[in-house]
Structure 1
Amino acid sequence: MRFVDKTVVVTGGSSGMGLAVASAFLLEGANVAICGRSQEKLDRAAETLNADKRILTAAVDVSQVSDLDRFYRQVSDRFDHIDVVFANAGIGVLTGLGEVDEATFDKIVGINFKGVFFTVQQALPYLTNGGAIVLNASLTQHQGLSDLTVYAATKAAVSQLARSFATSLMSRCIRVNAISPGVIETDMIEGMGDEKLQTLSREIPMGRLGRSEEIAKVVLFLASEEASYITGEDLLVDGGRIRLSLWQGA
C-alpha cells in the first residue's frame, strides 16, 4: 500500500469525486480527513467509508479562512501532520452572463478560487516537506460555455494556482498539480436529464461519461512517488473531449 502512515486531506469529501478519492486513499492505508458544508452528508460519508480510527470529518466552509484554520488544527490534533491535500471543494451554477447576480458571483468565486487558495495556504504549517497537493480544476476552462462563465473562470484560476504554488513550494519539495475532469457521473449532473447526458456522451470520443473512481486513480497517482518528477501540471481527465475535439467519430 502506497500511503500507509500518511495523512490526506480532502475538501468536498462527502460525495462524488471527493468521496471516491477519500475511499481510495483509505484503501491504500492512509489516514483521511474530509470536510464539507453538510454535517449530515459527512456523517453518511463516514459510514460509507467505514474506517473509524483513520477518518476525521468536519463541517467546513472553505471560503471562510477561520473554518479552515479550525479544521487543520483538528487534523493536526488527531493525526499530527499532513502529507497530501486534495483541494476538491467547488460549486457550479448554470447562469448566463446577464443573469449572474453579485451574491452568486461571490459564492462561486469564494468557494472555487478563494477556497482553493486558502485551503493550500492554511495547510502549509502542517504539510510535510516532500508532500503533494492536487487541485481540482475543470475542462470547462478550455471551453467557451455561456452558462458557466464564472465557474469556468474560477477553474482557469485554479489551474494557474497549481503552477504558482508549484514554484512557491519547490524549496520544500512539495509537488503541486491540478486535474481537469470532464463530465463525471456525480450528484452535480443528476438533474441534467437522460437526453442531455446522452448528448454529452456522444460529444466524448470515448463515448461515455467518466467515473469518480477513475478520477481517484489519477489523484492517487499524482500524490504518489510514482509521480515524483511531475509538478505544475494540469492533467485533463476527460475521455479525450478537449484534445480530440476534431475526432472524426463525433
Structure 2
Amino acid sequence: MSAKTVSYNFTGRTLFLTGAGGGIPAAIAKLFAASGANLFLTDLHPESLTALAGELGDSTALATHPLDVSDPDAVAAAVAACRDWFGQVDYVVTGAGLYEQGTVDGMTDELWRRGVAVNLDGVFHTVRAALPHMPDGGAIVNIASMAGHRGSFGHAPYSAAKGAVLSLTRSLAQEVASRNIRCNAISPGLIDTPMVRGLMQERGGDMLKMTPLGRLGTPEEVAGVAAFLCSDSAAFLTAETIHVNGGLYIAS
C-alpha cells in the first residue's frame, strides 16, 4: 500500500537532509523534490547519493555532499556549503541513523559510542550548525523511533539515543520559538525499509499481529508526515512527536 500523494508548495525553500540514502530519508527527498524544494542531500555513502540523485533527475535543484554526522567539523562544513549553494537552510530533517545489534552485557565501548555518536550527537551537530543559517519561520524535523519510547531488545545505543533525541527536540523547540522556528519529531514504527527487514525475519509475524493496521508502514507515509511538519499547515505545531506505526505503540 502506498501513501496518497499530498501536494505542498516548497518552491524556493531549501531542505538540508542527513542520511538521504536511507529508505525513509530518500522518500522524504522525493516528496520535497515533487513539492518544488531545493535539496541538499547528505549521506555517509556517496554511492547512495549518486543513486538517489539519478532517481530525482535533472528537474530538481539539488546538491549532494558525503557526510559523517558524527564529525562536527564535517557537519559545519556541509551546512556552510548548503548556504553557499542555495542561500539559506529553510528545513532540516535529521534522517541519519545507525541500528546495530548487541546486548549491554557484552557491548563494547566502541559500539555504544558509535551508536550515540550517529543517532544523538549527529542530530545535535546538524541542528547547531544549521540554526545560524535558518530564516525565521523555518522548521526542523528529527527522525526518532518507537524504540526511543519503549526501548529495543539488543539495540540499547539506538533506543537510548533516540529517546534523547525526543528530549532534545522539546528543548530545542523552546529555544527557537522566538524566531518562529518549529522543531518536531517523528517516531516511526515498523516501516518497510532494509533496517527493519532483518527484524521482521526474527519476529515479524508476532509484531504484525500486534499492529492494529496489520501491515508494515511505507517510507512514503513517513515522508508525508515530515512534509506536513515543515509546511504552513503545521504552523502552530512544535515540540511534538508524531507516531507513525499503525497503532503498534499502544497495542504492544
Q: Calculate the TM-score normalised by the size of structure 1.
A: 0.94
Bigger shift: residues 192-201 or 153-162: 192-201
Is 1:203 the counterpart of 2:178? The answer is no
Structure 2: tracts of 5 or more residues without a match: 1-7
Following superposition, the deviation at residue 2 of structure 1 comes to: 1.5
Aligned to 2:52, the other structure's residue is in SS state helix
1:130–1:49: structure 2 CA closer, same or farther, 3 Å change rule? same
Q: Is the 8 A contact 1:97 1:146 kept in 2?
A: no
1:26-55 Cα shifts (integer Å, max 9, x gaps): 000000111000111111111011146511
2:249 is the counterpart of 1:242 = yes
CA deviation profile, 1:97-155 (whole Å, cap 9, x unmatched): 11210111111000001100111000011111110000011101222433122211101
Runs (4 or more) in structure 1 with deviation over 6 Å come to none
Structure 1, residues 182-237: CA drift from partner, whole Å, max 9, x if none? 01111212334646333322221110011000000000001100001100001111
Q: Give the corresponding residue for 2:147.
A: 140
The yes-or-no answer on 1:3 pairing with 2:14 is no
Within 2, Cα distance between the matches of 1:146 and 1:222? Answer: 30
Letter in 1 for 2:157: V
2:93 partner amino acid = F
Q: Where do 1:83-122 residues align within 5 Å?
A: 83-122=90-129
Q: Equivalent residue of 2:212, what SS?
A: coil
**In 2, Cα distance between equivalents of 1:190 and 1:241:** 17
CA distance in 2, matches of 1:244, 1:2: 36
Q: Does 1:26 align with 2:16?
A: no
Which segment is superposed worse, 178-187 or 192-201? 192-201
Asked whether 1:221 is paired with 2:223, we answer: no
How far apart in 1 are the matches of 2:175 and 2:203? 41
Structure 1 stretch displaced more, 139-148 or 88-97? 139-148
Is 1:47 aligned to 2:54, yes or no? yes
Identity among equivalent pairs (%): 36
For 2:248, what is the secondary structure of its paired residue? coil
Q: 2:76 aligns with which of 69, 72, 82?
A: 69
Number of equivalent positions:
245
Provide the secondary structure at the position in 2 that maps to 1:33: strand
Q: Is the 8 A contact 1:13 1:89 kept in 2?
A: yes
Unmatched 5+ stretches in structure 1: 246-250
TM-score normalised by the chain length of structure 2: 0.93
CA-CA distance at 1:15 after TM superposition: 2.5
Q: Do the aligned partners of 2:123 and 2:142 also contact (CA within 8 Å) in 1?
A: yes
Q: What SS does structure 2 have at the residue aligned with 1:243?
A: helix
Give the residue type in structure 2 aligned to 1:130.
G
Q: What is the CA RMSD across the aligned residues, in angstroms?
A: 1.4
| Corresponding position: 1:38 with 2:45 | yes
